[in-house]
Amino acid sequence: MKPRLAIALGALGIAGAMALTGCASSGKSEKKPSANDIAAQVKEGVSESGAKLVSIRPLRSGCSQGQHNLQNTFQCPVIGADWTSARAGIARLTIGVPDLTGAGVTGADFHLGASEVVRVRNKSSLQPTATAYPATSFDVPLTFVEKLAYGPRSWVRVYTGEERYIDATVNSGEDTAEAVEGLAYFMKSVDQGSGRTPSEAAKGGGLFDRLGLGDERGSSDGKGVEGMHPR
């Protein structure tokens, strides 16, 4: 990554706001943020060179007791993202695991719908700093983040070392994780800032409509589309 781009991302707080300090709490009284709270986590800015910048800090996926190597419900992966118009087709996806010790995040497999698997392994040249727990950033196509935000039922397997992993729900089709809603608001800001046209998959209804982005091609019965986010 060019030094100027790294400085620009840092100025927006990608390495600061996404430093993961306080991104997830281990307190049992933690409540799911409201839609307004999640939307407020999206940060926008402009670099010295004029590139547009958008970020969403990592938010929780969905976990339950008894999953492989999951000691408690708060040791649950968090997912965030950032984007710059200097690399318009690429996003930086950050994955962390609170309360994880003695290991780091080495990669993740995202299972989308019935059969699609996207393996995330391409580490970004710019990584989070001063993190409160292990986190790694990966370069991914922006279209993948869009699919993750608006697409059908999905879950993720986060690898934290040799033969160790944690499974988490991203979108069950009935319940959506904070991370998914955060990515949806992130994509809304990216699309509005760049003039990018969302894909047809994103226009299927559900959360896309809830964000005020639906049109006549979206859901017409008020129920969204099978596998999309509930209202």
Residue 212 burial (10 A CB sphere; 0-12, 13-18, 19+): exposed
Helix (H/G/I), strand (E/B), else coil: 136: strand
Overall size of the chain counted in residues: 231
Each residue's pLDDT tens digit, 110-135: 999 888 999 999 999 999 987 788 89
* DSSP character at residue 166: E
> Residue 4's pLDDT is what?
52
Q: Give which of 33, 31, 26, 27 is closest to 56, Cα–Cα.
A: 33
Each residue's pLDDT tens digit, 1-57: 455 545 455 545 444 444 444 444 443 435 667 888 888 899 999 999 999 999 999
Q: Percent of the chain at pLDDT above 90? A: 40
Helices (H), 13-136: 35-39
> Residue 139's pLDDT is what?
98
Each residue's pLDDT tens digit, 49-87: 999 999 999 999 987 544 454 444 457 899 999 999 999
| DSSP characters over 169-202 | EEE-SS-B-HHHHHHHHHHHHHHHHHTPPPPTGG
Amino acid identity, residue 170?
V
Question: And the tokens for 41?
Answer: 């986590």
Q: Which residue has the tokens 């719908």?
A: 113
Within 10 Å of residue 32's Cβ, how many Cβ atoms?
12
> Residue 100's pLDDT is what?
81
Each residue's pLDDT tens digit, 134-188: 899 999 999 999 999 988 788 999 998 767 888 888 888 777 889 999 999 999 9
Question: How many whole angstroms separate alpha carbon 143 and alpha carbon 164?
Answer: 28
> Residue 210's pLDDT is what?
43
> Residue 81's pLDDT is what?
97
Confidence of residue 220 (pLDDT cuts 50, 70, 90): very low
Question: Is the pTM value of this prediction over 0.85?
Answer: no
